[in-house]
A and B are shown apart, each in its own frame.
Chain A
Amino acid sequence: GQQVMQIPQYQHVQEGEDFTTYCNSSTTLSNIQWYKQRPGGHPVFLIQLVKSGEVKKQKRLTFQFGEAKKNSSLHITATQTTDVGTYFCAGPQGGNTPLVFGKGTRLSVIA
């Protein structure tokens, strides 16, 4: 079945440094979604990308969907301690099927 791989698994950064997590799918995705889970919390929807090559920004967060719609990235500029958490990407398996979540990238920010 379809797999969604995320790298890196963990990332430790100094506050103010940039951070990027990458998501790769074994198949073409109709859309990709990103979620954030704070420590002790539950996953919260951040954004959905649908179009090939799409780029969306939310303040310091930049999301990209690859031209082939098989990969995506999330870039955070000038990380803050509030960015701490695990970032998951997720894409549908195909057709009208549920999302497949990547294993996530856990971000630690050292003040």
Chain B
Amino acid sequence: DSGVTQTPKHLITATGQRVTLRCSPRSGDLSVYWYQQSLDQGLQFLIQYYNGEERAKGNILERFSAQQFPDLHSELNLSSLELGDSALYFCASSVTPGGQETQYFGPGTRLLVL
């Protein structure tokens, strides 16, 4: 158990819909990362937050947005969903935001768009 929690574990929805994925980082971690993993694909970095502020952006679509709240939990919002958005979405956390830090991954949310 990494100490990072993600809800829900599974999500099935239809095209055009909007969903929210939630992540709670490990106790004491200030930085949160979101990744997308499609079938047979690596980890695509989406976005990073550190202590409530956006820190870095990766290949995140304009239909996607995220935020980190004062209690440090984070939410990833996916809107106007398309079939191709079906994937595993991981959240990870680390103490500080730099590339020296080990990232601890949550169990992921499996999203299926029908």
Contact = CB atoms under 8 A, between A and B. Distances in A.
Given A42-B107, A98-B97, A102-B42, A33 B56 contact: no
Contacts of B107: 41-42
Contacts of A33: 102-103
Interface SS majority for chain B: loop
Given A43-B90, A88-B42, A96 B99 contact: yes
A85 interface: no
B48 interface: yes
A71 to B, nearest CB: 17
Chain B contact patch, size range: 20 to 34
B105 A42 contact: yes
Contact of B2 (A42, A92, A95): A42
Contacts of A100: 45
B25 interface: no
Contacts of B58: 98
B12 to A, nearest CB: 18
Interface of B: 2, 33, 35, 41-43, 45, 48, 55-56, 58, 90, 92, 97-100, 102-108
